[in-house]
Structure 1
Amino acid sequence: MSKSILRFYFLGLFFFFSIESSEGQPELIAGLSGNQIEPIGQFQGSKIGQFDLRNYNFEKDGQASLTGIWEFHWRKMLTPDNINLDKDSSSIHVPGSWHRQGNYPSKGYATYRATLLLSPNQPELSMYFPYINSASRIWMNGRLVTETGIADVNEDGYKPQLANILVTIPSGTPVVEIVIQAVNYSYFSAGVSTAPRIDKTSTLFRSVEKANGIENFFAGSLMSMFIYQIILYFLIGREKPYLWLALICLGVAIRSLIVHGGSFLLPNIIPSIDWELWKKLEFGSVYAVIAFFPLYIYHLFPGYAPKKPVIFFVAVAVIMCTTVIVTNQYIYGALLELCNGMLLLTFIYAIYSILKAWRAKSNDAKIILLGVLAAFPFILTEIIQNSRFFYPKHFEFMYLVELGLLAFLLFQVYLLANHYGKAYRNLESLNLNLEKIVTERTSQLTTANTVKDRLLSVMSHDIKSPLNSLRGILQIYNKGSISQQEFGHFAQHIENDLSKTNLLVENIVFWTASQLKGVVVKKEKFNLGLLTEEIVQLFQTMSASKQITLNHNVPNDFMIISDRNILNFVIRNMIANAVKFSFEGGEVNIIVSRSNEGLLIQIKDKGVGMNEITLASLLRPDRTMSTSGTSNEKGTGLGLALCLEYLQKLGGQLSVESIEGKGSMFSIVLPTETEE
């Protein structure tokens, strides 16, 4: 199986690096920069910052990335009206922070300029700026087209903003002059940090929407894995590896939702939250992984993973996260290089600990090692491309951290599935033996009288079987044959079986009482709406196992006078039958209304229904019928017979309408008093 996972993983890598040529939208699909137009100022003797796209075919070649040398004016806020008057200009590579390309501090302001030469016959185009750190104004052919934040040279008047920018170039425009004012007093990286892109307007919009969809997919996947791991943590004896892995998924998901490729999903949804808070969440979630990942390894392989390095990693993470809380982004953002180094050390710690566990014959070590090695190339590439030692950036990959984590989770999920598979096979073998015992016991009671035969059959099969299964599982667990992780797999099934058993025991108690003492009716005033809601909640686990929706229309203040215990018993049995004979994904509706005859309660399903022969014999008081449900659920046949008997004592009636293959509706009519 591990070889199959490795083949799938390397196929994914091939897809990631080859998708650049697909659909004409490479940079937004796979995270690769688009086709780059060489600035003719470098190679043809023209002015710096010119990009010749006159012969560029957007239909054929797709999106173009304006990566190259731009005109640059440091500490000058120039406009198209006065930029030509400034003779003291320089050049800078885009994309890239200005403080990493020259003797410039990251705090400050500057003006960029580039000129695009386009074909007079070109269609309407648009330019996309993923983000500019940290406030900006953009002019196009002398016209101010957009402003993000407040681009003020004075730090007191400046305000940053997380935003992407999309501006339109009218069709037939032969020359486009772009002037960008960028101001940064808060971010450790400044200026045009990602390459602007240009394409046909309709195509570019689709690309941006597709990119947002991909980012939503990654964030949604990681949030789902966070919830899944948290559920496992609470279900399986609070195993700490699940907790730490859940927090890693949450941290990476938060990073994806806040800032990724210029989508800014959460900031766009909640624009009222300050820019600094989003940055604190982004960097805090990244720095916290320095502690979460070693803690995951340490608790996954106790006894093999050394403790002292974990203490060191946790201390560093606490210091860095505290720095995020108490300082501004310009300060804690500078710790990113330290974070990258610490993350590399955590991988070394993980590999060392896993190899040590592998040598000690740990069954899980091999799979976890493959997962760590699968994630490492993505994380390493992310660290390299964000490092200041690799500027200017001539390429850009996106979603690396998300892909790395999902690659690791692939192996983690396989590991869990392997555990569950072994546990299921063991349980299946155990159930076969238990069923054999139950069958033998049942055959020994066939000579008993009718009452004793019915009661002992129920007790030995429908009640004893799930309890014996539970006891058998506990015996195996106590002997150490299965782990807590494997035991947790059966929790939901056990809960479902016990819910059915509980209903069955109540039926037997009511039946025994009716046989020994007769039916005693005790009327009282009670809230039918609350009773119905309580019953629906009791069946949530059973219905959820078949993906069945339970609906009712009973108001919360619906007061009636009747026997609460009898009505509770009858409605529960009706709902149990409806769930039992409904198909997966169906629904059961409880409808209460008043009629001339009294109170009308209808339980309607869209299940298997009944033919005319079954329907005719269903409500005969001298007959009890038991039929398996749509998921092979068992029954005793007592429930419906008891419901009919008790309703008759209340002066009520029970009728059935059914169409085979389409469902059934049980109607209860009670001559009861009601209150508004």
Structure 2
Amino acid sequence: MIFNVSFSSIQKSFSSVVKFCRYPLILVLCLLFSQSCQFGVSPTLLAKDGVLDVRNFEFSENTVNLIGKWEFYWNEFVDPNASAPTNRSFMQVGVPWFSQPNEDGEDYPSFGYATYKLTILVPENVKNKEPYAILVPVLHSAYKLYANGSLISENGKIGKNIDSHKPSFHTKIVPLLNVNEKVDLVFHISNYSHKFSGIHGIIRFGKLQNIIQVWNDYHSASCIIMIFMGLLSIYHALVYVINRSEKNALRMSFVYLGILILSATLTETRILFNFLSDDYCIPLFRFSRLGFVSVLYFGGSVLLNLAQMRIFKKMLVLLKVYALTFLMVSLLTPVRHLALISYYFEFFSAIFVILGLFSVSLALYFQRKESKLYFFSLFLAVIGGVIDIILISNPNFGFRPMGLISLYFFIIPQTLGVTLGLVRVYKRSESISKELYKRKEALEKKVKARTTELEKANRWKANFVSLISHDLRSPLNSVNQILDVIDYSFSETTVEEKKKFLEICKTGVTQSLKMLEQLLDVSRFDAFGTKLIQTKFSVNELLNEIIESVEPLATLKGIRIQKDTPIEAEIIADRTLIGEVFKNILTNSIKYSYLNSEVWVAVSYKGKWLSVEIRDRGLGMSDEQIHKLTGEENIKSTPGTAGERGTGLGLQLCMNILEAHFGKLRIKSVLGVGSSFEISLSKSTKSVLLVDDSGNFRSDLAEVMRRNQWIVIEAGNGEEALSHLTRITPSLIITDLQMPGMNGISLIHEWEGKRKQNQKIPIILISSDAPLSGGNSFLEEEGLETIVTAYLSKMYKAEDLCQQIEMMLV
């Protein structure tokens, strides 16, 4: 107990700490994730005046970024084998050429062609050492690469105008063979298809094995990100399917889908571009814009909806128009204008980012739901974007731009937020369901209170008169016939015969009075529904009583009752009602048997069932007659072999009683030969006392448990349950917590005080207020943890609840 309390205190303290530190924790998670995405620094040496000296660089584990000042020749393809022209200038690589002015102070245009040249001074090559290689990123251009005057790689098709130019967005690893002391790299580059031009990416130089490792790291990270984004998109779509009110989850699903597209087309590895040929270069570029539009529109919708203000609703309309226009431009604009127009659309998209930040700030001010989480995550994304701009503008820092990682700063907290929202919705739904269940129970009680009396009266009026006439007519007819015999031949009858006939009459009248008492008990079945008073009793003793009660009727017809009961059978059932079944069928067998014939009664076990078979030699029945007898239509009783009359309701009553006990009645008959009635009752001693004031819940659970071979004794309140416990000791007690009068806890304490020491019965407490899991704390608070086996919720389906109960008892 002390351990449980201490653990609970520790758990609460830990939850409080996590709640207080949740935003810093999210930041730490984002940073850890960014580390896994290779956000880091590489050793950096700057080229000066077209020369990079790496002779003292350690290449065993590292690679070097080829950044700094390269020789640059505008609108000229310099011969790689000729001496350097005199009109050379120098260009900073790692940024587009359009962002740097020429010697006259004018900016270079985006479209054009040029030559980059760099001399790398390397350590003297030692034989059998691993060769060098360079990793060339996507340059959004076409280029030819020469090393020491030899063409070693070509990407796309270079040209001096747009007609002869063909772009390629492939990333390449190019080995450099026979390198000794220096490498002269010459790039011929043309660009007529993208705003960013020239060597604006970071080219890496190093040993081939290290270059391949760097590429593998980039490629693996891209694949992991794509898989992660795909799973998140599916997850958020499923959240929306589960809870249609979570529209933000659906929007975030499309955001993740857009990021998946961007990850496949814009990250360093350019996975889709590398998988496909250059013929798909421009279509894939257009496809990447689709991902950008998806992120822009659906992400903006999430942010602008957060403030719940009319002005931002209007901004949403503007955003929709902007996104659709951007989409149409991306799909339909000619290649020569596509890059420039797309660039300006992307640039002005920052306006909606600012509006989103403003919307989230207002939502935070007005304390809207999830505003803190959105503000925090968007703030991180903006910081990531600013850092990217700084790193792209200044490649000499040596840090790689984060790229899409700034978006992950936004989406990871959103995923956590959506998940927490789903948990809250689930808890709220559980609370609402409990409240609805309580109201349903209250309404059910009111409806039941107003209709029960009418149902009782209708059943009573419809059946009780017929039952009395059916069950009393036979013995009274026998007495009447004997009295007729005495009256007809009174003077001729001896004293001994008269005494014998009078004893038979007295026995018949006594049996009739006993039958009347039993019929009053049987009336419970129709007047109050299936209200079974179940006890454990001997089937053999009950059959002996029934046979004794019908003996006078059999004697009058000269019928012998042969009993074959080799086993001592005990069952749990309503003794009075089962006795009525035996008596009814046995009486009918006598009624339809030929004079001076026999009726056999046999008891045996058949698998899980106790079988009581009653066979006669009499009129028999056709299949059509059996079908009518076992059906629901009203039928006219057939006279017996001695002209006896009946109501035709006895067999239907028997079938209803057996159905209430989940028993069976099988009839076999041959016309003119006789009939066989086999009564099958469960021999299971697995019994449960089910206590609940809700009739619907109790009947549903009882039916399921009976199908699982449980003998179910039902009670509507604690007092009735205690009454049952005086007659029978069940294998299990299931009781509701909240009941009028004596509630579940009072019942448990009352039973604990009255039970004998050897009457330890497992008890399961149920309630609509119980949590779906973890109800042990309630039992500890009530001091019932050593008495009650489990505290379960009534919100489970009856089948699931029954399965849980049976698993606990294994």
Deviation string for 1:164-195 (max 9, x for gaps)? Answer: 12122347621111111111111111111212
Q: How does 1:47-126 map to 2 (within 5 A)?
A: 48-59=49-60, 62-82=62-82, 84=83, 86-102=85-101, 103-121=107-125, 123=129, 124-126=131-133
Deviation string for 1:15-54 (max 9, x for gaps)? Answer: 578x6xxxxxxxx952445222122x4xxxxxx2111111
CA distance in 2, matches of 1:375, 1:30: 18
The one-letter amino acid paired with 1:397 is: R
CA distance in 1, matches of 2:354, 2:174: 46
CA distance in 1, matches of 2:95, 2:45: 17
The one-letter amino acid paired with 1:320 is: F
Paired residue secondary structure (1:306): helix
Q: How does 1:174-189 map to 2 (within 5 A)?
A: 174-189=181-196
Deviation at 1:379, TM superposition (A): 2.8
Residue 416 (structure 1) aligns with? 418
Deviation at 1:64, TM superposition (A): 0.6
CA distance in 2, matches of 1:275, 1:460: 74
Residue 282 (structure 1) aligns with? 288
Query: Is the Cα contact below 8 Å between 2:145 and 2:188 reproduced in 1?
Result: yes
CA distance in 1, matches of 2:180, 2:282: 39
Is 1:377 the counterpart of 2:389? The answer is: no
Deviation at 1:230, TM superposition (A): 2.1
Residue 200 (structure 1) aligns with? 207
Match of 1:292 among 298, 302, 311: 298
Match of 1:363 among 366, 369, 377: 369
Judged with a 3 Å threshold, the aligned counterparts in structure 2 of structure 1 residues 101 and 177 are, in CA distance, closer, same or farther, namely: same
Deviation at 1:5, TM superposition (A): 3.1
Deviation string for 1:142-173 (max 9, x for gaps)? Answer: 21111111123343232111111212234762
Query: Is the Cα contact below 8 Å between 1:117 and 1:176 reproduced in 2?
Result: yes
Is 1:452 the counterpart of 2:660? The answer is: yes
CA distance in 2, matches of 1:179, 1:460: 91
The one-letter amino acid paired with 2:42 is: G
Residue 37 (structure 1) aligns with? 45
The one-letter amino acid paired with 2:27 is: F
Query: Is the Cα contact below 8 Å between 1:96 and 1:192 reproduced in 2?
Result: yes
CA distance in 2, matches of 1:446, 1:90: 106
Query: Is the Cα contact below 8 Å between 2:39 and 2:401 reproduced in 1?
Result: yes
Is 1:11 the counterpart of 2:15? The answer is: no
CA distance in 2, matches of 1:70, 1:460: 91
Q: How does 1:205-604 map to 2 (within 5 A)?
A: 205-237=212-244, 239-261=246-268, 263-271=269-277, 274-300=280-306, 302-303=308-309, 306-335=312-341, 338-339=344-345, 341-383=347-389, 390=393, 394-395=397-398, 397-401=400-404, 403-423=405-425, 447=534, 449=574, 451-453=659-661
What TM-score, normalized by structure 1, do the two folds share? 0.59
Paired residue secondary structure (2:414): helix
Deviation at 1:97, TM superposition (A): 1.6
Tell me which structure has the larger Cα radius of gyration: 2
The one-letter amino acid paired with 1:52 is: D
Query: Is the Cα contact below 8 Å between 1:49 and 1:71 reproduced in 2?
Result: yes
Query: Is the Cα contact below 8 Å between 1:297 and 1:305 reproduced in 2?
Result: no
Query: Is the Cα contact below 8 Å between 2:157 and 2:164 reproduced in 1?
Result: yes
The one-letter amino acid paired with 1:30 is: Q
Residue 661 (structure 1) aligns with? none
Paired residue secondary structure (1:91): strand
Paired residue secondary structure (1:151): coil
Q: How does 1:596-675 map to 2 (within 5 A)?
A: 633-634=803-804
Residue 150 (structure 2) aligns with? 143
Judged with a 3 Å threshold, the aligned counterparts in structure 2 of structure 1 residues 33 and 191 are, in CA distance, closer, same or farther, namely: farther
The one-letter amino acid paired with 1:10 is: L
Deviation at 1:377, TM superposition (A): 1.2
Query: Is the Cα contact below 8 Å between 1:67 and 1:394 reproduced in 2?
Result: no
What TM-score, normalized by structure 2, do the two folds share? 0.50
Is 1:163 the counterpart of 2:371? The answer is: no
Deviation at 1:358, TM superposition (A): 3.9
Judged with a 3 Å threshold, the aligned counterparts in structure 2 of structure 1 residues 95 and 453 are, in CA distance, closer, same or farther, namely: same
Paired residue secondary structure (2:369): coil
Q: How high is the sequence identity, in percent, across the aligned residues? A: 19
Query: Is the Cα contact below 8 Å between 2:195 and 2:343 reproduced in 1?
Result: no
Judged with a 3 Å threshold, the aligned counterparts in structure 2 of structure 1 residues 632 and 127 are, in CA distance, closer, same or farther, namely: farther
Deviation at 1:211, TM superposition (A): 0.9
CA distance in 1, matches of 2:325, 2:398: 33
Cα root mean square deviation, aligned: 4.4
Query: Is the Cα contact below 8 Å between 2:305 and 2:313 reproduced in 1?
Result: no
The one-letter amino acid paired with 1:142 is: G
CA distance in 1, matches of 2:283, 2:347: 25
Deviation at 1:282, TM superposition (A): 1.5
CA distance in 1, matches of 2:365, 2:63: 51
Deviation at 1:136, TM superposition (A): 1.0
Query: Is the Cα contact below 8 Å between 1:320 and 1:332 reproduced in 2?
Result: no
CA distance in 2, matches of 1:135, 1:302: 48
Paired residue secondary structure (2:226): helix
How many correspondences in the alignment? Answer: 458
Judged with a 3 Å threshold, the aligned counterparts in structure 2 of structure 1 residues 288 and 329 are, in CA distance, closer, same or farther, namely: farther
Deviation at 1:213, TM superposition (A): 0.7
Query: Is the Cα contact below 8 Å between 1:97 and 1:191 reproduced in 2?
Result: yes
Judged with a 3 Å threshold, the aligned counterparts in structure 2 of structure 1 residues 206 and 182 are, in CA distance, closer, same or farther, namely: same
CA distance in 2, matches of 1:423, 1:308: 29
Deviation at 1:422, TM superposition (A): 3.9
Query: Is the Cα contact below 8 Å between 1:129 and 1:166 reproduced in 2?
Result: yes
CA distance in 1, matches of 2:428, 2:294: 40
Is 1:130 the counterpart of 2:137? The answer is: yes
Paired residue secondary structure (1:73): strand
Query: Is the Cα contact below 8 Å between 2:136 and 2:171 reproduced in 1?
Result: yes
Deviation at 1:108, TM superposition (A): 1.5
Query: Is the Cα contact below 8 Å between 1:280 and 1:329 reproduced in 2?
Result: no
Query: Is the Cα contact below 8 Å between 2:112 and 2:161 reproduced in 1?
Result: no
CA distance in 1, matches of 2:434, 2:316: 46
Paired residue secondary structure (1:38): strand
Deviation string for 1:86-106 (max 9, x for gaps)? Answer: 322211111122222133222
CA distance in 2, matches of 1:459, 1:415: 45
Deviation string for 1:525-569 (max 9, x for gaps)? Answer: xxxxxxxxxxxxxxxxxxxxxxxxxxxxxxxxxxxxxxxxxxxxx
Query: Is the Cα contact below 8 Å between 1:70 and 1:112 reproduced in 2?
Result: yes
Query: Is the Cα contact below 8 Å between 1:290 and 1:339 reproduced in 2?
Result: no
Paired residue secondary structure (1:59): coil
Deviation at 1:272, TM superposition (A): 6.7
The one-letter amino acid paired with 1:113 is: K
Deviation at 1:395, TM superposition (A): 4.8
Judged with a 3 Å threshold, the aligned counterparts in structure 2 of structure 1 residues 95 and 227 are, in CA distance, closer, same or farther, namely: same
Query: Is the Cα contact below 8 Å between 1:288 and 1:321 reproduced in 2?
Result: no
The one-letter amino acid paired with 1:416 is: V
Deviation string for 1:296-334 (max 9, x for gaps)? Answer: 234455457721222222222222222222214553433
Query: Is the Cα contact below 8 Å between 1:257 and 1:264 reproduced in 2?
Result: yes
Query: Is the Cα contact below 8 Å between 2:267 and 2:403 reproduced in 1?
Result: no
